[in-house]
Structure 1
Amino acid sequence: MMIPDVSIIVPVYNVEDYVFECINSLINQTLHNIEIIVVDDGSTDASLDVINKFSDIRIKVISKRNGGLSSARNEGIKIATGKYIAFLDSDDWVEPFAYKTLLDAAIRCNSDIVVCGFYLAYETYSKKITPSSIDNLNIKTEPQYLSKIKVAAWDKLYKRSLFIDNDITYPQGLYYEDTPTTIPLLLKSNVITIIDDPLIYYRQRDGSITKEMKFNNKCFDIYKGLDIIYSFIDEATYKDDHIKRAIDSVYVKKCLIDNIVRVSKYSLQSKYLWDIKRRFFNKNISLLRLYLSKKEFLFSFFILYFPEIIVVKFLDKYIK
């Protein structure tokens, strides 16, 4: 039996209204030599019934007890046989030429990871997101690019060996599990290729982790995710000051800026502002040494060093 060029892993949990469009976009890929690994993570709706209506022999279905997105992805990685791996969320879909385009770029550049553009797919329109193209990027020598690459799992094609040889998996039980997995994968890659083609439709819908109606303390899991990354760079002997500076930049964006914006959207900035600042100061990070845009630097400086009463009022007025 021919080894698949690409194994596409699709975790599924209660998406009966969306999963047909997702799987249908995969079986109609112009790249035919693929395997589609569907991991049903204990769905309680009709998702599995929808999936079982497809008769394509390239589809492998795994049913397991609910364990979360990381658990489902890890199960898919275990049985994947392709040279390359891709992930697709079960409420998203892809262009017919998506994986052919990604694979062609990987072969052309001998890439460990290929990153592509995507569409933010709203109910009535789509917004195109296109990164700047780079053929041959190595984060170990150009760490300033680390915080410019989206940490999502689904906009990339990976050599399967990156996961297997480095024993990299998705941490179970954490929100924002992509960050502590994607960054070690990027650091372990010798060649990263970025193409500007938008190939994936990233559905924007209520009910996702990033759009919860009520505040959830699990948003602070991002601290645990960054701790995993700091441990990884220590264990991997990435002692280079520039790499540490790049990880610190990710910390500022994910743990300081994003968390401040997140709690402010729920009008909880007065409750959590000091704790977010305290965690930052405990890291002994210098903003002046980081790979931040001017806007990111100024916002971070304002949050950290202006009087809290002014910061709280500003956030209440401008962050919704």
Structure 2
Amino acid sequence: MAANDQAVKVSVIIPVYNAAVYISECLNSVLQQCHQDLEILLVDDGSTDHSVRVIKSYQDKRIKLICSANKGVSSARNIGIRASTGNYLFFLDADDSLPETAISELVEALRINNSDISIGSYVQFSSASAELEKTIYPDNRTLDRNAIFQYICQYLEAPNKSPLFVFSWGRLYSADLIKNNQVYFNEHLSTFEDVQFNLDLLKFIDNISYTPKIVYRHRLHPLNKSATTQWKKSPEELFGFVAPVLSCTDLLKDELGNVKALRLVEQCLCSYTIIQLIRLCGGLKLSSFYLIYRYIKQLVNTDWLVSAIQNYKAAAGNSTLIPAQIARRRPLMVLIACYLHARKRYR
């Protein structure tokens, strides 16, 4: 169903894991939306706190609680997708919240442009800092296939400065687009699963609507609690970007040719590798030192990184020491350089 049809039902999918402290603020912000035709799917991913009890205290008939064993955020979102009955899907993290006009603004953007996806601006906030508004474009606009292609190139050149396809929150997706093309979150990834999800969808869309209106409030956590810095069994869990970034080669090669496409992909791989190594080493402890060192030693000898780092060009202001030590395959020097960089950046 197109967004310009009279009835637009939106399924809000909220994965929940030990979010009892935040879930009321999150859920209240959804219930207070100006757009009221909502289905609110809360997928509890095996919480061990009282998240489920808080959710059950709400009596609104639009709320549906689904309980699952702990399999991660991607599994929870996929469960929500399959259970949804709305025309459009909106993903919301349990520790985040929405301005009251969020969904109505995104529905209006879809209606005007008849798009399959609409994206808005967002605000970052934390207990330790003031709110920071993040706007990608200053005005309403529609991105056609060419504009999407150009943005992918921009993203590959500077992934930490090009967030349009990095998140799955703060946007409305056509449910038919996702379900008809069988695009789901990769449950084997614990990081960068949003990137792969969005890149997989880009193969099937003609345009994207963007509004500069604030449609999402994203909570920042300290470095040691961030999803991009936490790992359970192996530091490798933080490097889930490899598969989705490599998939960009197929999106670009027809326009750029294999060589140019590969160069862009390699630039992105190196950028993300350095970013994640800094985050990984920022949480370094004596108990994890050898495990991290052993992983870095393996990483700097990985074929794709050995090849990619030879052509990497550090942007102005970025570290040149870290890529130089990676190129020389010096794991201890990489670890020390990343640790010092992280301490300076996140102090």
Shared fold per TM-score greater than 0.5: yes
The whole-number CA distance in structure 2 between the counterparts of 1:311 and 1:66 is 34
For 1:152-167, list aligned pairs within 5 A.
152-167=167-182
Aligned to 2:142: 136
Q: Aligned residue for 2:208?
A: 192
2:276 corresponds to which residue?
259
1:263 partner amino acid: L
Matched, 1:48 2:52: yes
Q: Distance in 1 between matches of 2:336 and 2:241?
A: 30
Aligned length: 314
Give the 3-state SS of the residue equivalent to 1:60 in structure 2.
Answer: strand
Taking structure 1 as the reference length, the TM-score comes to 0.82
The match for 1:79 is 83
Note the C-alpha offset of 1:296. Answer: 5.3
The CA deviation at 1:184 is 1.6
What is the alpha-carbon distance in structure 2 between the residues aligned to residue 26 and residue 265 of structure 1? Answer: 35
Instruction: Indicate which of 163, 177, 189 corresponds to 1:149.
Output: 163
Identify the residue that residue 3 of structure 2 maps to in structure 1: none
Give the 3 Å change call, closer, same or farther, for CA 43–127 of structure 1 in structure 2. same
> Which runs of 5 or more structure 1 residues have no equivalent in the other structure?
none
By how many angstroms is 1:4 displaced? 4.3
- Give the % identical residues: 25
The runs of 5 or more residues in structure 2 that have no matched partner are 1-5
Amino acid at match of 1:63: C
In structure 1, give the amino acid aligned to 2:135: T
In 2, are the aligned partners of 1:184 and 1:229 still within 8 Å (CA)?
A: no
Structure 1 residues 289 and 165: alpha-carbon distance in aligned structure 2, compared to 1, 3 A threshold: farther
Partner of 2:13: 9
1:127 paired with 2:143, answer no
TM-score (norm 2): 0.77
Aligned residues: CA RMSD? 3.2
Q: Offset of 1:193 from its aligned partner?
A: 2.8
1:209 has 2:227 as partner: yes
The 1:120–1:306 alpha-carbon spacing in structure 2 relative to 1, beyond 3 Å, is: same
Q: Relative to structure 1, is the Cα distance of residues 95 and 243 closer, same or farther in structure 2, using a 3 angstrom cutoff? A: farther
- Asked if the contact 1:287–1:297 (Cα under 8 Å) also holds between the matched residues in 2, the reply is no
Q: How far apart are 1:161 and its partner, in Å? A: 2.3
Paired AA for residue 38 in structure 2: I
C-alpha deviation, 1:39, in angstroms? 1.1
Q: How many Å apart are 1:80 and its aligned residue?
A: 1.6
Query: 263, 266, 275: which is aligned to 2:298?
Result: 275
- What is the rounded CA distance, in whole Å, between the counterparts of 1:89 and 1:171 in structure 2? 17
| SS, match of residue 105 in structure 1 | helix
Which residue identity lines up with residue 168 of structure 1 in the other structure? V
Mapped partners of 1:166, 1:219: distance in 2: 32
Report the residue type matching 1:227 in the other structure. A
